[in-house]
Amino acid sequence: MYFSFLKIGKADFFWDYDEYYINNNIHEAGFLLRENLKKYPMPAVKLNVNNLITK
């Protein structure tokens, strides 16, 4: 259902992730997130995705 709404412009995906996992290609935890972000990118909004590196 989500993908149907996305296709017609009635939905957006917001992913909860940290750059620590996304930017590290060796990290298994980020593999599916990287794939999902490619297929279903988030809308252009400013979110803090750098919590693990800065804290």
Identify the pLDDT of residue 23: 87
Distances 23 to 7, 13, 14, 16, 50 between C-alpha atoms, Å:
27, 19, 18, 14, 11
CB 12 within 8 A of CB 41: no
Give the H/E segment covering residue 34: helix 31-39
Q: What is the pLDDT along the chain (55 residues), one digit of tens a residue?
A: 888 888 888 888 888 888 888 888 888 888 988 998 898 887 876 666 666 666 5
pLDDT, residue 49, reads 65
Spatial distance between the Cα atoms of 30 and 24, rounded to a whole number of angstroms? 7
